[in-house]
Structure 1
Amino acid sequence: MSIQTFSQMQNTLKNYDVSNWSKSVEFGKKMDFTKDLESVSAGEKSTKTFGDMLLDSLSNVNKMQQDADLAVQKLASGESQNLHETLLAVEKADIAFKTMNQIRSKVIGAYQEIMRMQV
């Protein structure tokens, strides 16, 4: 998979339709996980899909990267004298990016594993 821009990734996730794929994988009866979901969410209804959660995570990582870049620019230009806050912003962005990269790797690995399954 090649590296794409943030907007291309957003468009890809928005256009991805899991329902067609899941219908092709069904083995006779539908499994109902709503009872499990209700017990986990403790009465809190959520319409957020996995793709939406990934988009939110990508947006948060992108925002952290932009904030870190701005903090470095301010430090370099002399607008800010606070080295500690700048380093914290850079490290937060770095950790968020590494975490998102690991999530991406796990999702791709899971997808590849599913594609290798013989039906």
Structure 2
Amino acid sequence: MLVLALSAPLAFGQAECDRHCAQVETSAKFKEADAELNRVYKRLLSSLPQAQRSRLRVEQRRWVHDVRDASCTKRIETEWGRSCPTTWCLVAEEQCRASETVERTKQLEEIMVRGPR
């Protein structure tokens, strides 16, 4: 019984560590994806005429707020519930944002290759 009593704090400590490590790792992946998106976005922006730059700026702002962030929040609310306070919900939302950001980077890279419409 003493072994069980002593192992409980270790198990809890490991679980806390797992959540924290997952959050740190996911945050780093999102920051990396976001930095790459910003590099591609700036390269594309500098290659466009002024009128298309303005349109891209508006589109990019809309994508960040209305597409990426809103869709990830909705996905987490659907999968985990409206008020999911756990670290795992934060990790899942950050993973979603990283994934959406990678996809958006690919879209902008395609525009650079084929040219704007």
Structure having the larger proportion of residues in helix: 2
- Superposition TM-score, scaled by structure 1 size: 0.35
- Superposition TM-score, scaled by structure 2 size: 0.35
